[in-house]
Amino acid sequence: MLRTPTGGAGHGTATKGERLMSIGTVLTQLHDEFPEITISKIRFLEAEGLVEPRRTPSGYRKFSAADVQRLAQVLRMQRDHYLPLKVIREHLDAVARGEQPQLPAQGGRREPAPGAAQDGPAAPTVARVSRAALLAGAGVTEEQLTEWESYGLLTASEDGSYDAEAVTVARLVAELGRFGLEPRHLRAVKAGADREVGLVEQVVAPLRRHRNPQTRAHAEATAKELATLSVRLHAALVETALGVRLH
């Protein structure tokens, strides 16, 4: 669930004489260091409670210099340390309370091999599982897995291994099967997921082509964040549609 900032009209109302900035000005100030930043991204960070801009009496967002600095901190922690927003928020809130917390350990990254050269942040580790491990982890049979592969629900790489998330996919397909939903019924779900991946790729593709290696590395974190939002939207739409039809 999106967080509701504690600021806003009545609590964070802009005061006369204080130099505040519009969201467009904030975007311009941040763009040189964070070329991927957008107005939608700033609004999303606000909704998640990472920044609380003040509001004019007519409701327009107004950001202080401290707000811009906090936004930059958030974006750096995402880009350089691959930290989830919840961890970033807790860290910055602790700093605001006068505490001196250590920066959380970097997530989703692997240490380079001794003597290996580095041109930027290390690539995230991608966990793989064998076919036997997938069958055991999901509690399914060889016949079931073969059938699901024929419908494109699961796909092995060239070396015969699977992404670790394939175990979750297999378990969910098996659970849906208990309700009479066969693999052929789930092709529409897979097609919808592929379309969502296409939308995410449209957003992150420019980041992956960027000359700055840190910006290219940030594409992975951006893709994960977009995927999370897409899943939440999908779940909310399904629940809303079911609610309308059942009442």
What angle do the packed helices 166-177 and 131-138 form, to 10 degrees?
40
One-character DSSP codes across 37-104: --HHHHHHHHHTTS---EE-TT--EEB-HHHHHHHHHHHHHHHHH---HHHHHHHHHHHHTT--PPPP
Integer Cα distance of 66 and 221 in angstroms? 25
Nearest alpha-carbon partner for 140 in 201, 103, 183, 93 = 183
Domain formed by 23-96, architecture: Orthogonal Bundle (1.10)
Provide the residue ranges of all domains of the chain, joining segments of one domain with +. 23-96, 123-181, 199-247
User: Which residues pair with residue 185 across a beta bridge?
Assistant: none
Q: Do domains 23-96 and 123-181 have the same CATH topology?
A: yes
b/e 64-75 (16+ beta carbons within 10 angstroms → b): beebbebbbbbb
pTM: 0.47
Q: What is the pLDDT along the chain (247 residues), one digit of tens a residue?
A: 444 444 333 334 445 556 899 999 999 999 888 887 888 888 888 888 889 999 888 888 999 999 999 999 998 888 777 777 888 888 888 888 888 887 765 544 434 433 333 444 444 445 788 999 888 888 889 999 999 999 999 999 988 899 888 888 999 999 999 899 998 999 888 888 888 888 888 888 887 777 777 777 777 778 888 888 888 888 888 888 877 666 5
**Measured between alpha carbons, how far is 197 from 147 in angstroms, rounded to an integer?**
23
- Structurally, at CATH architecture level, domain 123-181 sits in Orthogonal Bundle (1.10)
